[in-house]
Amino acid sequence: QRRRAATFPAMSPTLDEPAVWAHPLDLHYALKGFDGWPKLLLEVWTVDQFGRCELGGYGCCVVPTSSGMHEVKVQTWRPCGTLREQITSFFLGGVPTLKHREVISSSFDRFRLHTETAGAVSLRLCIVTKGLGRYRVTG
């Protein structure tokens, strides 16, 4: 079951410094089996110099299976669009976005897209697991 959430914006003092978003998320999952292990799907938005919101990038990572603190770096990407969309984006702002977000977590469908790298998001995840021994899951 997919859950969606919006978050608070984070601002960086200069373009050279990373934006620090330090708001905790508290999530609880109950599993009946190991199939469909949770993933975090990221959709990063930016604000341009004219105050317009536009897509910064998409990313996806699998939630670690072992308990403890984990540092996870998620590479982000965004669609390039057609030549016409790139020219329009350059002069008028805005970038192409996905119509179907399922593509974010499916590497098979992504091979058909023309994408460009959009940076990375560093996550610090504190994972607590319970009862995964019966599924023979080890970290």
User: What is the largest distance, in Å, between two alpha-carbon atoms of the chain?
Assistant: 57
Residue 58's nearest CA partner among 88, 89, 102, 108 is 102
**Which residues, 6 or more positions from 28, have their beta carbon under 8 angstroms from its beta carbon?**
none
Predicted local confidence at residue 48, as pLDDT: 79
Q: Name which residue leads in pLDDT, 16 or 70.
A: 70
Model pLDDT for residues 40-92, shown as the tens digit of each residue: 999 998 887 788 888 999 999 988 888 899 999 999 999 988 888 888 888 88
Predicted TM-score (pTM) of the model is 0.78
DSSP letters for 66-95: SSEEEEEEEEEEEE---HHHHHHHHHH---
The dihedral built from the CA positions of residue 110, 2, 121 and 72, taken in this order, carries a sign that is negative
The whole-number pLDDT of residue 6 equals 65
